[in-house]
Structure 1
Amino acid sequence: MASSPPAKRQRRDTEITHSDIWHRDGSVVLQAGNKQFRVHWGLLSRHSAFFRDLEGLPQPPDQPSVEGCPVIELSDTAEDVECVLETLYDPLLLTQTALPLPTIASHIRFCRKFDLTNILHSVVQRIVHENPRTLKAYAGLMKGRSYSPTRISHSPGLSIDTVIVARENNLLSVLPCAYLRVILSCSRAQIFNGVRRKDGTLAILPPSDQRLCSLGHADILRDQWNDGNPLGWALFFRNHATNGTILSLGSKPLIWNKLCEPCMNAATRKMSAGRQKMWDSLPPWAELKDDL
């Protein structure tokens, strides 16, 4: 290995910075972008067959080095590399009850690429747990009528980001439930326009997934009323729902006749007030003039 890199690389190296992961007794330097990490071959080789094989290869004569350590340039982001290296040096980080989805995503990308199988399975299982295949497992995650993730930290746009991470990493088994979570947690506007994350960036689905979620929302809204489905027993409501009938501004539905008198009176008052509220929310009548 050359003890000093070519002149061109020396000028480039003046812009490179060391990360906080810089072990003085490290034996290899990983470089992602303009950030370098000095770590140990032994640690990398223990967890990754890729690095184990790479360590055994003869180094080319023009191999760049830093303080006698070979420099391995990676195409990954510095954030992904740093995230996984922190875990390798402190495995207890993965024992936290809940992890942020960006942290999980960084581990999935890096561990898939470099064959860190054990860590990969551990982080993927968190997404699988929150987006199960079976109704029993799905119902087990509910608390009453609400759901809050336990193994992934809750954050604005989480359901959308989960779909994006699953898509990018071919986690196909979690997609049906992940799509359902988008449909249940996002309004139609949010499905198409996205949800603002805490850092100000936008979690937004690709157009193909926007279409899937929009169509899925309409399908579920309709199919829940079909015979044999959860609301199939409510024949009156099913007929109106599946036909797209708007009841809120019309006369009293026939089902009123099946209510007891106190319930009918209360429902009539609420229906009357609700009709007026919806009517008032329609176009501003005072501003609409006939052109006569």
Structure 2
Amino acid sequence: MDEPRLKRRRTDDSGATRTPVTRSAEYWFDDGNIILQVESTQFRLTKSMLSMHSSVFRDMFMVPLPPDEPTIENCPVVVLSDTAQDWIHLLGAMYPKFFLEVARPPTVELIAGILRLSKKYDIPLFREDCFHRLRMQFPSTLAEYDSISGRTLLKEEPHMLIPLVSLAREFDQISILPLIFYSIVVTESDKYMFKVMNDLDLSFRPADRLACLQGYVRLLDLQSLISMSWIDKDNGYIPARSCPRYQACLMALKDIIYNMSRGQRPEIFILGQWIAEWEVGLCDACRSKARKIFEDARQACWNELPGVFGLPAWEDLKSLDFE
């Protein structure tokens, strides 16, 4: 791992700092014995806390300071080439204000900031926690995907989906890419497909942009051929062979198809849950047959999801993940 650049506070010929700095209102502790200057913000912290989490700082603090080292309030100053906002995110994790903060899921910006610093300064526990959170939000099995339905593990703001692609690649979390791509395509699909095609944000690689565009078409094909195949009367699935009232169930199927065409489900629905309204008018045999076909198709679509976006199979993706 490359050693991060740690610099002592520098002054110009007049002794004044080159840029005006301000003290952090939240992370300036009276008992602190080290000051970190990041951009124009200074944080007064304790060496023991930094050393407990980071091997880089622990090794740094073992080196004696020169006797003429400039200080502020008897604290040495270390200048870091990071962003102040990333350090605010990291210090929020080091000095939490909430216990078991389940109701306040982290943002993508917070996860990204902590990942950047935990990699640079070797903070393994925070890095592993971030990876775990990402893999929970974007799992690699359908059972895990269903288990988080309705739960918010990460504030997945729509405008942060594209930066999540870059984040996954930067930190080698390749197995989360299929669901991120899927989310880009199905979340307000018209708006985001327009963004995918026209956004000039260089952080979204052309190859990833193309994967979304091609994936959109492939998802529509999968949906018609597999996940919603049970509603195609030409397939002969519904009415079922054991149906005791063929004509009634055939009419019910036509009503279901008509209602779907009126926009009662999203355009792309390959991973969606069964909707109770689809059972209206069907006999028990047809209802059971339809649900079985639908659930088997969901699993088949899940298995195909990585390939939809030009990625390897799920097991191969997981083997590419770091840690």
CA deviation after TM superposition for structure 1 residue 5, in Å = 6.2
Match of 1:131 in 2: 138
Match of 1:82 in 2: 88
CA deviation after TM superposition for structure 1 residue 95, in Å = 3.1
CA deviation after TM superposition for structure 1 residue 30, in Å = 0.7
Work out which of the residue numbers 62, 70, 85 in structure 1 matches 2:76: 70
Is contact 1:133–1:173 with CA below 8 Å preserved after alignment? yes
Instruction: List alignment gaps of at least 5 residues for structure 2.
Output: 1-8, 236-248, 263-323
Q: Structure 1 residues 57, 7: closer, same or farther in 2, change over 3 A?
A: same
Q: Which moved more, 1:215-224 or 1:9-18?
A: 9-18
RMSD, matched Cα: 3.5
CA distance in 2: counterparts of 1:117 and 1:56, whole angstroms: 20
Q: Structure 1 residues 46, 104: closer, same or farther in 2, change over 3 A?
A: same
Q: 1:16-95 residue pairs with structure 2 within 5 A? A: 16-20=21-25, 21-60=27-66, 63-90=69-96, 92=98, 95=101
Match of 1:223 in 2: 222
The percent identity for this pair of structures is 28
Q: Structure 1 residues 261, 112: closer, same or farther in 2, change over 3 A?
A: closer
Is contact 2:11–2:18 with CA below 8 Å preserved after alignment? no
Specify which structure has the bigger relative contact order, considering alpha-carbon pairs within 8 angstroms and separated by 6 or more residues. Answer: 2
1:77-132 Cα deviation digits (max 9, x unpaired): 00111221232123746734312222222111111211111122222222111100
Instruction: List alignment gaps of at least 5 residues for structure 1.
Output: 143-147, 195-201, 239-257, 272-292
CA distance in 2: counterparts of 1:149 and 1:262, whole angstroms: 33
Q: Structure 1 residues 118, 157: closer, same or farther in 2, change over 3 A?
A: same
Match of 2:159 in 1: 157
CA deviation after TM superposition for structure 1 residue 154, in Å = 4.6
TM-score for both structures, normalised by structure 1: 0.67
- Larger radius of gyration between Structure 1 and Structure 2: 1
Q: Structure 1 residues 93, 124: closer, same or farther in 2, change over 3 A?
A: farther
Equivalent residues, number: 233
CA deviation after TM superposition for structure 1 residue 56, in Å = 0.8
1:179 aligns with 2:181: yes
CA distance in 2: counterparts of 1:174 and 1:26, whole angstroms: 39
Q: Secondary structure at the match of 1:37?
A: strand
Q: Structure 1 residues 154, 175: closer, same or farther in 2, change over 3 A?
A: closer
CA distance in 2: counterparts of 1:261 and 1:169, whole angstroms: 50
1:28-85 Cα deviation digits (max 9, x unpaired): 1111111111111000001111110111123356744322222111111001112212
Q: Structure 1 residues 213, 53: closer, same or farther in 2, change over 3 A?
A: same
Match of 1:102 in 2: 109
Is contact 1:5–1:65 with CA below 8 Å preserved after alignment? no
Is contact 1:130–1:149 with CA below 8 Å preserved after alignment? no
